[in-house]
């Protein structure tokens, strides 16, 4: 059986690597010689800037849309206020018309004077009739 060493080996491998393995290590080292963070950082920054530009475009479109909506809402509010004013005017017009109709049906000044004269004449005639028939004794004193 084989004995194991009490401490693990930290040095190079005892068994030499095959030529294919050595070539793979050299290619891996050559690939790592180009600093990936610098090139991927630039790409990542470009992508972030592109996304920021798209977000800004969307924000600008949303802002333009909201301003158009705001203008339409203001226009609609103005039209509603105008309609309310027209409705108030129509209601006021109908009230004035109703009052005018009621006052037209009232008797005129001539009818009122005629009624007053007739009432005065009838009152005098009735008082003379009461005195001639000696009915004034029935009146309380």
Instruction: Please report, for the chain, the start and end positions of each structural domain, with discontinuous segments joined by +.
Output: 35-106, 107-141
For residue 129 the two structure tokens come to 């009739």
Q: Which of residues 11 and 90 earns the better pLDDT score?
A: 90
What single DSSP character describes residue 134?
A: T
Q: What is the mean pLDDT of residues 108-119?
A: 93
* Residue linked to tokens 């060493």: 5
What single DSSP character describes residue 16?
A: P
Q: What is the pLDDT of residues 53-75, one digit of tens each?
A: 999 999 999 999 999 999 999 99
């Amino acid at each position: 059986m084989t004995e194991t060493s009490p401490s693990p080996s930290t040095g190079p491998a005892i068994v030499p690597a095959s030529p294919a393995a050595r070539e793979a290590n050299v290619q891996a080292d050559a690939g790592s010689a180009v600093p990936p963070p610098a090139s991927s950082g630039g790409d990542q920054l470009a992508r972030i800037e592109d996304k920021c530009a798209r977000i800004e475009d969307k924000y600008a479109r949303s802002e333009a849309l909201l301003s158009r909506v705001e203008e339409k809402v203001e226009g609609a509010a103005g039209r509603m206020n105008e309609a309310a004013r027209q409705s108030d005017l129509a209601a006021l017009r109908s009230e004035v018309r109703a009052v005018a109709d009621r006052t037209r049906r009232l008797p005129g000044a001539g009818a009122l004077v005629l009624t007053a004269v007739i009432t005065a004449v009838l009152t005098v005639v009735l008082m003379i009739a009461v005195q001639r028939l000696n009915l004034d004794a029935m009146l309380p004193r």
